[in-house]
Amino acid sequence: MSQLRETNVKRTPLFNFHVEQGAKMVDFAGWEMPLLYTGIIEEHLHTRRAASLFDVSHMGRLELRGKDAEAVLQRVCTRQLADAQPGQSRYSHVCNERGGILDDVIVSRYEDHWLVVCNASNREKIVNWLLRHSAGRDVTLEDQTESTVMVALQGPGVIPALREKLPLPIGDLKRYRFLWGEYLGFSYSIFRSGYTGEDGVEVIVPAAVMPLVGGLLGTLLGGENGLKPAGLGARDTLRLEAAMPLYGHELNEDVDSITAGQAWCVDLNKDFIGAEPMRRLVASGLSRKLVGLELEGRRIARQRASVHSGGEAVGEVTSGTFSPTLGKSIALAFVRADLAEPGTGLEVDLGGRRSGATVVKLPFYKRSA
């Protein structure tokens, strides 16, 4: 049993770095990943205040080439991609015929190919889904997850530091735009994006040049305001404060993109898999909505905690935490659509005890600049 586990769990090229930095490692979607280095809250607050380095190499990186790549992606993705320019990324969902969410992805357009970044837990499913919808078409898919490294640098200190260290116009890059090219002989992509609610970049380079990149990152590490490593624990509390959905929590195959509050990444005017049920849903109105809750007290509402109104069960928590930035217990929950207005008073069941909760506007946290 334990042997089986050891041979199956993957390590990113940064594994040794994590161990050297004293990380507490956990198995996440089949990858041995850092949960934390010094403490989740400390890493969270450092990201909000300064700059953090996250290893996100476990996320799937799928390259699509061929003259039908755009058509296949247009069919599979909820988002309009036809007008995306080379150097532009777009957040999108991939849905099944019922409109159920198979994954949330970031699709990036290069000059002559596309890159789909998907969740680690859904990689095999998305590869198979893309292959199935590419059948008979001029598309080749290359899974580059294990031949590349992806790191996210997040926090207000990131762009100023990179501007100083890198001979690239990072500061001019708009959000959801990216630069790509060759640097000292290796290919790189730098995206102005992230999953923390802070400014920053996500970088992809070949796994083989990790020592070189590690050296560069090393020059950014250290100091009270310098770059520090942060783990998956902080990544989760940061994304939750920023009200960014997480697959397996707010998003799953039993919920559609509209109900999940992500209509902004859906173009119902184009033809894509899952569009028809979503059009009907928009016409008939939603029965439940995703809301933000602020709970009384310090207790945390965990996933699947039931939400009540006037003694009646009206919904379910999808994610909850104690917000390090706000010092409050916060949660995302699906509730009956008529109870989704900010200011609505609800109750959350915390293991037999009820806690008062108020619907609040999302996101819980928004950076000032």
List contacts with another protein (CB under 8 A).
24, 35-36, 39-42, 233, 237, 297-300, 302, 321-322, 351
* Residues 6+ away with beta carbon under 8 Å from 166: none
Nearer to another protein, 162 or 301 (CB): 301
Residues 26/18, Cβ–Cβ less than 8 Å: no
* Residues 6+ away with beta carbon under 8 Å from 88: 108, 109, 176, 177, 178
Residue recorded with tokens 């357009």? 109
Query: How long a stretch of residues is the chain?
Result: 369
What is d(CA 73, CA 134) in angstroms, rounded to the nearest whole number?
9
Nearer to another protein, 148 or 321 (CB): 321
Nearer to another protein, 36 or 95 (CB): 36
Can you say how many angstroms the Cα of residue 73 is from the centroid of all Cα atoms in its chain? Answer: 19
Residue recorded with tokens 């003694």? 311
What is d(CA 102, CA 207) in angstroms, rounded to the nearest whole number?
28
In the chain, helix, strand, coil percent, each to 5?
Answer: 25, 35, 40
Structure-token pair, residue 203: 């970088």
Minimum CB separation from another protein for residue 228, in Å? 16
Nearer to another protein, 201 or 242 (CB): 242
Residues 338/320, Cβ–Cβ less than 8 Å: no
Nearer to another protein, 297 or 345 (CB): 297
Nearer to another protein, 35 or 242 (CB): 35
Q: Is 161 helix (H, G, I), strand (E, B) or coil?
A: helix
Peptide bond into 363 cis (omega under 30): yes
Minimum CB separation from another protein for residue 24, in Å? 7
Nearer to another protein, 72 or 240 (CB): 240
What is d(CA 326, CA 57) in angstroms, rounded to the nearest whole number?
30
Nearer to another protein, 229 or 233 (CB): 233
Question: HSE of 359 in the Cβ direction (CA atoms, 13 Å)?
Answer: 22
